[in-house]
Amino acid sequence: MKVKEIKYGLILSCFLMLLVPESSLGQQLKMDINKLQLANQYYRNQEFDKSAVLYFEIYEVSGGDHYFNMFLNCLLELKDYPQAEKAIKTQLKNRKNDPSLWVQWGYLLSLQAQAREAEQKFKQALKLVPNNKGDYIRLANAFLSRQEYEYAQQVYLLGRERLPEESFHFELARIFLYQRNYGRMFQEYLDLLKMDESNLGRIQSSLLTAFRMDVDNSLRNEFRVALLRQIQQEPKITSYNHLLIWLFIQEKKFSQALRQSIALDKRIGSGDAQIASLARIAAGNDGIEEAIKAYDYLIEKGSSGEFYTKAHQGKMKMQYQQFVSRTNQFHDASELATQFETTFKIIGFHPENTSLVIDYAHFLAFYQQNTEQALSLIENQMGINGISPLQRDQLKNEMADIYVLKDDLWEAVLLYSQIIDANKNNPLGDEVKLKKAKLGYYMGNLSWAQAQLDVLKASTSKLIANDALELSVFISNNTALDTTEAPMQLFARADLYQFRKQDSLAWAVLDSIEAQYNYHSLLDDLYFRKASMLMERGDFEQAAGLLEQITTEFAYDLLGDDAMFLLAELYEEHLNRASDAAALYKQMLVQYPGSIYLEDARERYRRLRGDVSVSKETLLMEGQELN
């Protein structure tokens, strides 16, 4: 359709609408919905001549500015500027005081390189805006739709001047974000928070949107400095402290977040809930030390505190995690056993601490070889009133693990099967399916185990799916070319011993494999298992030696990147060889570009290289003024 035909079509549509009887209004509205869908489809297909006719018809019926603007957009896409200007002037006869039309006219002129004339139209829009909040927002949005950010800013500044009760902080902050004027954006948010602390959640959400564009953390750093400066200048505004705590949590700087939370609680009180929440977040993000400090603070407040028992429970879980990860303060298991006993004397046994009971039972069975006490503990917890079916199955899951430890494997299989049948639609079911498949692997039933693992690769849990895939690939890679499964069955036996914390037996089996099958593809896996056991003992030098052997002799096998990253960590964290660690992290970036450790390796390399320097934040935290 030609542009001239559009004009005739518009005239005809207007004439036809006059002929539509009032009784058919419902049918007309239904037709408009279909027409709108068709107009949108034409627009998406860039058939602007067809969509122009439909959008104008819809506008005439609905009166919605959006549809008139879409009609204008079609004319602009067709570069039919005369027709677009005529349409605007026609609308101005009836809506001469509508500022949004002047915005559209100004934009039309700017497309034709008539900057001075466009500026006049934009200024006319500013003169005509009615003096109420809604109209200021509508006019600003009209400017924003044409990416005229400076004029949108002027609208809100004018509104702020004329309507003292309306600050427009949030709206201006959004415009400054579009302009990438982050300093002014931050100041608007801080002023808004000062005005009303209830805006905290909204501001946090907006900041997260802005931070998603922050590829190098420069934006976060700039905001942190601005916030700390504001706290220096107005220390009585506690909402700024809450925002700083939130920012530290986002950055996983739990130590700083805790320090600020405790200082704020001592100053104004009522901070227990926030500190308890911070402890949980830190605990879920490897911030065990900070979580313990937070729980200690809550415990020190005494038994009358709302979070006293929960803090004891949380602290005990953290201490157990420290023990299991070998980063603990306990030099032997007996000290942790005493701590468990003391904790349960304080908090008692009830359904809410089932998770900690499971930890205690696991500790008793696997670290103190007291399987009977562990099973008794589980059975007693199962008998407590209020235990849910899911909690009972979680306890049964631990009981099955203990039967694996006791070498009562068929009893374990039976329990695992019961749990799977009762939990077909929740994560526990898939978790136990993986355990049952691993048990088949430990027992040497490699084909059966692999079949189960292949099913689990489709698990909704990414962690379970990855673990299933890893073990399935491991079995496949090390059995496909062999006429005998004997080496793999021995290796599976070693893994069973390692699961039982019987490292000496596992080591002996691995030695046997190395002596009998020194040509086998299992060698790099064998060295990796031994390195893991050595690390658990704290023998980092020997562990490093085995990992070095993998990185040189088996660099392009599946464990090449795992071994290199783990070796770099040992150099950095335990062997005081920072330069060697940096060299390995750098090597990983080139040698293993697809590794899951790539981003972590890049970040650690940058840190060891010295990219992080003393920042303005550090000075502000120390109370020093900035020039």
pLDDT digit string (tens) for 213-244? Answer: 877 778 899 999 999 999 999 999 999 999 99
Distance separating alpha carbons of residues 359 and 362, to the nearest angstrom: 5
Domain with 584 in it: 522-621
Task: Give, to the nearest 10 degrees, the angle between helix 333-347 and helix 308-325.
Answer: 160
pLDDT at 8: 38
Is 561 part of a structural domain of the chain? yes
Q: Pull the structure tokens for residue 96.
A: 């001469």
Residue 27: pLDDT band (50, 70, 90) is: very low
Is 544 part of a structural domain of the chain? yes
Q: Is the confidence at residue 13, as pLDDT, over 80?
A: no
Q: Identify the three-state secondary structure at position 291.
A: helix
What does the DSSP assignment read for 363-399? HHHHHS--HHHHHHHHHHHHTSTT--HHHHHHHHHHH
Handedness of CA 598, 602, 608, 613 (dihedral sign): negative
Q: Is the confidence at residue 481, as pLDDT, over 70?
A: no
Q: Is the confidence at residue 2, as pLDDT, over 80?
A: no
pLDDT digit string (tens) for 426-456? Answer: 899 999 999 999 999 999 999 999 999 999 9
pLDDT at 482: 58
Instruction: Select from 131, 205, 128 the least CA-distant residue to 174.
Output: 205
Is residue 75 within 8 A of residue 69, CB to CB? The reply is: no
Q: What average pLDDT does this structure show over 174-189?
A: 94
pLDDT at 1: 42
Most confident of 49-58, 77-86, 375-384, 511-520: 375-384
pLDDT digit string (tens) for 139-175? Answer: 999 999 999 999 999 999 999 999 989 999 999 999 9
The count of structural domains within the chain is 1
Q: What percent of the chain has pLDDT over 90?
A: 74
Is 574 part of a structural domain of the chain? yes
Is 285 part of a structural domain of the chain? no
pLDDT digit string (tens) for 323-332? Answer: 988 754 455 7
Distance separating alpha carbons of residues 326 and 543, to the nearest angstrom: 15
Is 304 part of a structural domain of the chain? no
Q: Rounded to a whole number, what is the distance in angstroms from the first to the last CA of the chain?
A: 65
pLDDT at 610: 76
pLDDT digit string (tens) for 105-143? Answer: 999 999 999 999 999 999 999 999 999 999 999 999 999
Is 543 part of a structural domain of the chain? yes
Is 178 part of a structural domain of the chain? no
Mean pLDDT over each residue of the chain, to the nearest integer? 88
pLDDT at 435: 96
pLDDT at 310: 95
Instruction: Select from 261, 198, 191 the least CA-distant residue to 227.
Output: 191
Distance separating alpha carbons of residues 216 and 209, to the nearest angstrom: 15
Most confident of 28-42, 85-99, 393-407, 505-519: 393-407
pLDDT at 346: 95
Is 531 part of a structural domain of the chain? yes
pLDDT at 20: 40
What one-letter code names the amino acid at 189? Y
Alpha helices in 517-597 (DSSP H): 523-537, 540-553, 560-573, 578-591
Q: 599: domain CATH number?
A: 1.25.40.10
**In which residue are the tokens 């008139």 written?**
68
Helix, strand, coil tally for the chain in percent (to 5): 75, 0, 25
Distance separating alpha carbons of residues 451 and 228, to the nearest angstrom: 57
pLDDT digit string (tens) for 35-55? Answer: 889 999 999 999 999 999 999
Q: Which residue would you say has higher pLDDT here, 28 or 258? A: 258
Distance separating alpha carbons of residues 345 and 42, to the nearest angstrom: 73
